[in-house]
Chains A and B, each alone.
Chain A
């Protein structure tokens, strides 16, 4: 059974204090791992797709990495506008096109 576990559930950082969010996954065959940002009352906003172990992607202060069992979202020198819930989702080979989401990490960046 596909499983996605994100940790921590919540994270409070001072502005400029770098940290990492974790996404551990179990899937029969990984087609892709996705990171999304979700603001309160809004839909998930796409950040990255990762396909294979060793892959890295960057966007502004965010960097996503992937191993065979987990993915990390590194946030460098965060700003208050980075406050949001960050969602990890996997798409498995042979399961058509649906995404299986984790419960997310709620990030708060304090000025």
Chain B
């Protein structure tokens, strides 16, 4: 069964550093997303991406964050000047065009730890 692949699975970074989280969505999917989950809290929407541009973003997704689809397969989330409160699981998700009946497919996540 097709999967959304995320790398790395765990990233430790020093406060103030920049990190790039990488995702390979399912090949025929056209809608891409980033979500995050702080330990013990709910999964929160960050940003959606379609047709090479951001289609929606949450209040969390401020100037510290950016997304990019640098080639036909990868989808990245860049976090600049990381803060302690950025520590969380970051999930990439994708879905095909049309009906949402098949839901969104999530990757296994990247655990980001800011020290």
- Indicate if B43 sits at the interface (CB-CB under 8 A): yes
Contact B101 A49 (CB under 8 A): yes
Chain A proximity mask over B54-83: 1 for CB below 8 Å, otherwise 0? 011010000000000000000000000000
B8 → chain A, closest Cβ, in Å? Answer: 14
How many pairs, one residue from A and one from B, have CB atoms within 8 Å of each other in the complex?
A: 66
Chain A proximity mask over B82-115: 1 for CB below 8 Å, otherwise 0? 0000000101010100001111111111010000
Contact B102 A49 (CB under 8 A): yes
A103 to B42, CA, bound (A): 5
Given contacts A98-B45, A100-B45, A101-B42, is CB(A42)–CB(B56) below 8 Å? no
Stretch among A13-21, A61-69, A76-84, A89-97 lining the B interface: A89-97
Contact B56 A46 (CB under 8 A): no
Contact B95 A97 (CB under 8 A): yes
Contact B41 A46 (CB under 8 A): no
A66 → chain B, closest Cβ, in Å? Answer: 14
Given contacts A43-B106, A44-B106, A103-B42, is CB(A98)–CB(B100) below 8 Å? no
B103 interface neighbour in A46, A100, A103, Cβ under 8 Å: A46
* Chain A contact residues, CB within 8 Å of chain B: 31-32, 34, 36, 41-49, 87, 89, 91, 95-104
A93 → chain B, closest Cβ, in Å? Answer: 12
Contact A96 B100 (CB under 8 A): no
Name which residue of chain A comes closest to B3, CB basis. Answer: A43
Contact A97 B33 (CB under 8 A): yes
A46 to B107, CA, bound (A): 11
B3-40 residues at the A interface, CB under 8 angstroms: 4, 31, 33, 35
Contact B45 A99 (CB under 8 A): yes
Chain B residues closer than 8 Å to A87, beta-carbon distance: 43
Chain A residues closer than 8 Å to B45, beta-carbon distance: 98-100
Contact A95 B43 (CB under 8 A): no
